[in-house]
Chains A and B, each alone.
Chain A
Amino acid sequence: MSQKSLESSQWTTRQNRNARALARWTTAWVLSLALAQFGPRFLWDEATLLSSIGIALNLAIGIGMILANRRLIMDLDEMQRQVQLEAMAFALGIGLVFGLAYAMLDTVNLISFDARIPELAAFIALVFMASVFRGTRRLK
């Protein structure tokens, strides 16, 4: 059985490696987002070329993050993939429905502040995390 334990440990190691890679890409993406957002004001005095490079860098790292996430999901087993799929369905559906309703509140002036994309992105992320938590608990 030691061979099986070794295989199990290799599977766990692969999962951990994928998760660490995604964490690194996500951190880099967040940092590049901050650079693209605040760089023009605080670092390079609105220079168009550097602002363009900042946004291009953010996009390139974002693509790397998407691919790392795909690799992580493809390496999950079928139950974990089902949990992720349900969470993505909830996040996309709720994000779309509530996001458009939120935007409409702003459009018809029912709220005094502007509906902003970062708030929607944070909401989608929270729904996704809650859905993964719920799915994992349900199958425990």
Chain B
Amino acid sequence: MKNRLKVLRAERDWTQADLAGAVDVSRQTINAIEKGKFDPSLPLAFRFARLFEKSIEEIFEDDAV
């Protein structure tokens, strides 16, 4: 699954550790999600959406689409 986390984070000048702290996961998990190696659960995707004030579809994109 592709995502725009790295771009959204960069726009706000946040580090991976900052984002990790905001959604209560490890920095390694943020790194794995940004690289597309780990797909977040729906609750975590909602936490990203709330944090960036965007819909889940604006952040995550299905590979099959």
Contact = CB atoms under 8 A, between A and B. Distances in A.
A136 B37 CA distance: 11
- The bracket for how many chain B residues form the interface is 20 to 34
Interface residues of A, number: 20
Interface in B1-56: 12-15, 17-22, 24-29, 31-33, 37-38, 40-41, 44
A140 B26 contact: no
Nearest to A12: B26
B20 A79 contact: no
Interface stretch (A1-9, A31-39, A52-60): A1-9
Contacts of B44: 78
B18 A8 contact: yes
Given A7-B24, A11-B24, A78 B17 contact: no
Contact of A11 (B12, B21, B31, B37): B21
A11 B13 CA distance: 21
Interface of B: 12-15, 17-22, 24-29, 31-33, 37-38, 40-41, 44
Interface of A: 1, 4-12, 15, 77-80, 82, 136, 138-140
